[in-house]
Amino acid sequence: MHCFRSTLWGVILLWALCGAAAAGSEQAIKLRSQNELSEFTPPERFLAGNFLADETDPAYIFGNVRDFARSLSCPVTWLIEGAERKRIEARTQQPGPVEYSIYLEADCPGKVAYYIFVDRSFNPDQWLEWRRPFHRTKAEPHYQAAKASLDQAAQNGFTVEAELRFVALNGDLLLKRPENILVGDLKFKPIYDLKNNQALAK
């Protein structure tokens, strides 16, 4: 009986430790609460898709989102805001393309980074259509060069399903372009050069 109790307490302690590990650090938990974030499983098309890291003038296409998440050295968790979750649930009821944000949390010792992605799994024409209500007549000339490059990349077999729009550290958005953070700080190599319309060697 004593042996059974010891075993039971051991299992309970293991569950508690695993639960604490899964929940993340104290700082990560605090930031999740402040931003009303909860765990989320992104769609496979998003995870398997290539992504951009600049909203207005992208220079590169990066490989699939899943590989980027795996490249980070700290434990990662996908999160989403409550309001965005509701938008996804109502996605089929809304006309036109719908974008929504997903947070990739990297819980490192002493710091928590958020890589804030946008699921934009639609073609470049829809991408331009989504921006037109916000930029009106400026949308077409402002994004035309990027759209032309994305069209060419798609014809070459490099489609885009996501966009890394912001990077935040300990709750503060970084002013540095996400594209520069990936290439310079994280050494995450792109797979396609949009300026020269060519694939890059791995």
How far apart are the C-alpha atoms of 181 and 56, rounded to whole Å? 16
Q: Which residues contact 136 (CB under 8 A, 6 or more apart)?
A: none
Given the structure tokens 């990027």, which residue do they identify? 146
pLDDT at 121 exceeding the cut of 90: no
Write down the pLDDT at residue 148: 85
| % of the chain at pLDDT higher than 70 | 73
- The vertex-174 CA angle with 188 and 140, nearest 5°, equals 80
How far apart are the C-alpha atoms of 113 and 117, rounded to whole Å? 13
Q: Cα 130 from chain centroid? A: 19
Residue 169's alpha-carbon distances to 71, 116, 139, 150, 173, in angstroms, are: 18, 11, 30, 30, 6
The pTM for the full model equals: 0.81
Tokens found for residue 109: 């010792």
Task: Give residue-wise pLDDT tens across range 30-66.
Answer: 999 999 999 999 989 899 999 999 988 899 999 999 9
